[in-house]
Amino acid sequence: MADEMVFLWRSAVRLRAVPALLKFSAVAIVLVAVTTYGPLRWSGVSAHEVSGAGTAAGTDAEGRAFVDSLLKKMTLEEKIGQMSQVPLNSTPDRPVDEMIRKGQVGSFLFITNAAEINRLQHVAVEQGRLHIPLLFGFDVIHGFRTIYPVPLAMAASWDPAVAEREQRMAAKEARATGVQWTFGPMVDIARDPRWGRIMEGAGEDPYLGSRMAEAQVRGFQGAALGSPEHILACVKHFAGYGAASGGRDYEESNISDEQLWNVYLPPFHAAIEAGAGSVMSAYMDLNGVPATGNRFLLHDVLREDWKFNGMVVSDWNSVSSLTTHGFARDDQDAAVRAVNAGVDMEMTSHSFRDELAAAVRKGSVTEATIDAAVEDILMTKYRLGLFRNPYIDVAHAAEQLVTPEQREAARETATRTAVLLRNEGQLLPLSKQYKSIAVIGMLADSKADIMGSWSLAGHPEDSVTVVEGMRKRFSPGTTISYTKGVEIEREQPSIFDDQFVSPKPTMKTEAEREAEFGHAIELVRQSDVAVLVLGELQSMSGERASRSSLTLPGKQEELLEAAVATGKPVVLVLLNGRPLDITWASEHVPAILEAWYPGTEGGDAIADLLSGDANPGGKLPIAWPRSVGQIPINYGRNLTQIPEALNERYWDGTSAPLYPFGYGLSYSNFTVGNLKLAEPTVHAGSTLKVSVEVENRSSREGDEVVELYTHQRAGSASRPVRELKGFERVSLKAHEKRTVTLTLETKELGFWSPETHRWAIEPGMFDLWVGSDETAGNHGEFEMLP
**Terminal CA-CA length for the chain:** 66
Those residues with Cβ within 8 angstroms of residue 368's Cβ, 6 or more apart along the chain or in another chain: none
Those residues with Cβ within 8 angstroms of residue 133's Cβ, 6 or more apart along the chain or in another chain: 121, 124, 125, 381, 386, 387, 390
DSSP conformation letters of 654-679: --S-SB-TT--B-SS-EEEEEEEES-
The DSSP letter of residue 392 is -
Host H or E run for residue 207: helix 206-221
Q: Which of 536, 643, 539 minimizes the C-alpha distance to 594?
A: 536
**How many CB atoms are closer than 10 A to CB 6?**
10
Does residue 182 contact residue 235 with C-beta atoms inside 8 Å? no
Distance CA(334)–CA(319), nearest Å, equals 6
Task: Tally the C-alpha atoms within 13 A of residue 477's C-alpha that lie toward its C-beta.
Answer: 9
Q: What is the 3-state secondary structure (H, E, C) of 179-193?
A: CCEECCCECCCCCCC
Does residue 158 contact residue 167 with C-beta atoms inside 8 Å? no
Buried b / exposed e across 423-438, counting CB within 10 Å, b at 16+?
A: beeebbbbeeeeeebb
Give all strands (DSSP E) within 84-127, no chain letters.
84-87, 107-109
Those residues with Cβ within 8 angstroms of residue 460's Cβ, 6 or more apart along the chain or in another chain: 447, 448, 451
Does residue 191 contact residue 632 with C-beta atoms inside 8 Å? yes
**How many CB atoms are closer than 10 A to CB 691?**
15
Those residues with Cβ within 8 angstroms of residue 44's Cβ, 6 or more apart along the chain or in another chain: none
Those residues with Cβ within 8 angstroms of residue 511's Cβ, 6 or more apart along the chain or in another chain: none
Select which of 139, 159, 249, 315 is catalytic.
315
Q: What is the SS3 assignment for 157?
A: coil
Does residue 658 contact residue 582 with C-beta atoms inside 8 Å? yes
Does residue 530 contact residue 561 with C-beta atoms inside 8 Å? no
Distance CA(675)–CA(44), nearest Å, equals 69
Secondary structure tally for the chain: helices H, strands E: 23, 28
Q: Helix 602-611 to helix 404-417 angle, to the nearest 10 degrees? A: 50
Distance CA(651)–CA(608), nearest Å, equals 43
Distance CA(162)–CA(216), nearest Å, equals 9
Q: Is 188 among the residues known to form the active site?
A: no
Does residue 15 contact residue 131 with C-beta atoms inside 8 Å? no
Those residues with Cβ within 8 angstroms of residue 506's Cβ, 6 or more apart along the chain or in another chain: 487
Those residues with Cβ within 8 angstroms of residue 23's Cβ, 6 or more apart along the chain or in another chain: 50
Q: Helix 206-221 to helix 266-273 angle, to the nearest 10 degrees? A: 30
- The CA R_g of the chain, rounded to the nearest whole Å, is 28
How many angstroms separate the Cα of 316 from the Cα of each of 143, 237, 284, 292, 321? 21, 11, 12, 11, 9
Does residue 390 contact residue 54 with C-beta atoms inside 8 Å? no
Those residues with Cβ within 8 angstroms of residue 29's Cβ, 6 or more apart along the chain or in another chain: 21, 42, 43
Longest dimension (CA), the chain: 89
**Catalytically active residues, by annotation:** 315
